Structure 1
Amino acid sequence: MFTLSADWMSFVIVGLATLFLIGELLVNAKGVFSLLGLGFISIFFASYLDPAMFFVMLVIYFVGIILILIDGKILNDGTLAVIGLVCMVISVGFTAPNWVSGLYAVIGVFIGGIASFGFLKVFPKRKMWTKITLFDQLTEEAGYSSMNSKYQSLVGKQGLTTTDMRPIGTVLIDDAEYSAISQGKWISKQTEVEVVKVDGTKILVQETKKSAG
């Protein structure tokens, strides 16, 4: 068991851990980032916790990262991201021996998480996310010309939501149901909407003026 000698080191250690762990999930770093991130966060937790609490807080921290990534890549409604962020903040904040060190650690979570997206400009993005997300762009070059033309014909048409859109849901247009997205705004079931844009098979809708009024 060992301890960090200065409160500010919590910011550095937690920041680097978050940077590399989220970075590993965003880009193909061949496992190097995950090893670095695991090493840094292990140093932080091992500095202040006994073995039993070490594993508890480590699990809470990793659950937080996973929830944020699931929300960002699949659900996109912000709920899981907030829960995940709270998990990460709680794990590092409650581990720190005093409020100063805890504050540094929490700031490290935010800075490290934001900075990790910089890896996308340097390293290749993980293909696994583009395979499972609803937001793949299907272009004519990829062989989706007929499907793309069908969806393009929906622009300007009005329909009715058959599920709550948070912001993803289902709309009924011309007696056919389509998966759609409401550009970040939640729309209740049985609301009149209009198709404003189509990108491949991604249908973007908004409430009609009549419904919004």
Structure 2
Amino acid sequence: MKKYFLIAIVLIFGFCCNTVSLASDYYKSDYAVTVEKNYEKNEINLNTTPKNVNQVKSFSIKNNNFFSNFIRNISNPFVSGILLIISIVAIIIEIFLPTYGIAGIISIISIVLFFAGNFLYGDTDIIDLILFIIGCILIAIEILVPGFGIPGIAGIILIVLGVILSMSNLYVGLLSISIASIIGFLVLITIIRKGYKSKLFNRIVLDKEIKSYSSKDNRHLLGKKGLTITPLRPSGTIEIDNKKIDALTEGEFIDKGEKVEVVNIEGFKIFVRRYYD
């Protein structure tokens, strides 16, 4: 395990060196644009003196207030990368450890600052933010309604694309997401090795001892009665004939220990309803 942390330290050092260099260029660019705000006429005049107009990325804002400085700092490639790492690590901790929502809040704040800085500073387009949001929605769908895994995979791809495209250039985006993913993976492995388990994680990656059915075997379950061994909200696990099966309701919540009946089967999805004697 120590060698993995050594690799992580080397990668982080490389990330710091690269992003500090990029941040220096970010602030000291000799193709900066001076933004002059004319508040009386409500106009903005641009005095551009770049060597290459197509490379204009940095703006020197004359009304140097706290807000503009704050946005400038959090849009720095190094700071953006750190925010991304904090967000990923915090959400992993929230899933596995009892933080009472604190780690989740830290994760949300970090990712909001990440996108806010890059968006307000002009590096992020609205489409990048939309990709990220759609990705989060797809992962939520995958968690709530276990199925083929397609929504989860598509969600991860869209989140990664949204993060990479939102940064100042492709190189910075790829470097940041790679380092953040590696650090997140190492934190995840460490938590699992310590013996912590997540109910959410177990719902996505089923335990080996749980016997699942393929779609061709599911038809014989139609009309059968069983018992819920986890709450169905609306998905969970039921037991029929001493076998554990993933199931979901048609919208209602059913508590653990309730009798249910299989009322519909759609591919891998087994729908149940509360059964009254």
Give me the TM-score of the superposition, normalised by structure 2: 0.41
**Equivalent position of 1:16 in the other structure:** 86
User: Offset at 1:128?
Assistant: 6.3
- Please tell me whether residue 99 in structure 1 is matched to residue 170 in structure 2: yes
- Please tell me whether residue 80 in structure 1 is matched to residue 80 in structure 2: no
- Please tell me whether residue 169 in structure 1 is matched to residue 215 in structure 2: yes
- Structural mapping, 1:84-163, within 5 Å: 84-108=155-179, 110-111=181-182, 113-115=184-186, 117-118=188-189, 119-122=191-194, 125-127=197-199, 135=206
Distance 2:136 2:96 in 1: 11
- Please tell me whether residue 36 in structure 1 is matched to residue 106 in structure 2: yes
Greater length-normalized contact order (CA 8 Å, ≥ 6 residues apart): 1
- Please tell me whether residue 61 in structure 1 is matched to residue 132 in structure 2: yes
Per-residue CA deviation, residues 134-157 of structure 1 (Å, 9 max, x unaligned), is: 957999xxxxxxxxxxx9xxxxxx
Unaligned runs of 5+ in 2: 1-70, 223-240, 247-277
The structure number with the bigger radius of gyration is 2
Distance 1:106 1:125 in 2: 25
Distance 2:100 2:125 in 1: 26
User: Would you say the 8 A contact 2:134–2:155 is kept in 1?
Assistant: yes
- Structural mapping, 1:172-187, within 5 Å: 176-177=220-221
User: Offset at 1:75?
Assistant: 2.6
Per-residue CA deviation, residues 85-112 of structure 1 (Å, 9 max, x unaligned), is: 1121122112101122211232145335
Per-residue CA deviation, residues 14-71 of structure 1 (Å, 9 max, x unaligned), is: 1221221243234432111112212221222122112997987556435534534654
Identity level (%): 17
Unaligned runs of 5+ in 1: 140-150, 152-164, 179-197, 204-213
User: Would you say the 8 A contact 1:67–1:83 is kept in 2?
Assistant: yes
Residues 200, 172 of structure 1: alpha-carbon distance in 2 compared, 3 angstrom cutoff? closer
- Please tell me whether residue 45 in structure 1 is matched to residue 91 in structure 2: no
- Please tell me whether residue 201 in structure 1 is matched to residue 244 in structure 2: yes
User: Offset at 1:114?
Assistant: 2.6
Q: Give the secondary structure class of the aligned counterpart of 2:77.
A: coil
Corresponding letter in the other structure for 1:32: I
**Equivalent position of 2:95 in the other structure:** 25
Distance 1:40 1:65 in 2: 15
Residues 51, 29 of structure 1: alpha-carbon distance in 2 compared, 3 angstrom cutoff? farther
Q: Give the secondary structure class of the aligned counterpart of 1:29.
A: coil
Distance 1:54 1:34 in 2: 25
Distance 1:71 1:26 in 2: 18
Q: Give the secondary structure class of the aligned counterpart of 1:28.
A: coil
Q: CA RMSD in A?
A: 4.5
User: Would you say the 8 A contact 1:68–1:85 is kept in 2?
Assistant: yes
Give me the TM-score of the superposition, normalised by structure 1: 0.51
Residues 24, 60 of structure 1: alpha-carbon distance in 2 compared, 3 angstrom cutoff? farther
Q: Give the secondary structure class of the aligned counterpart of 2:113.
A: helix
Per-residue CA deviation, residues 126-180 of structure 1 (Å, 9 max, x unaligned), is: 55676x77957999xxxxxxxxxxx9xxxxxxxxxxxxx9x8535169xx338xx
Distance 1:114 1:21 in 2: 12
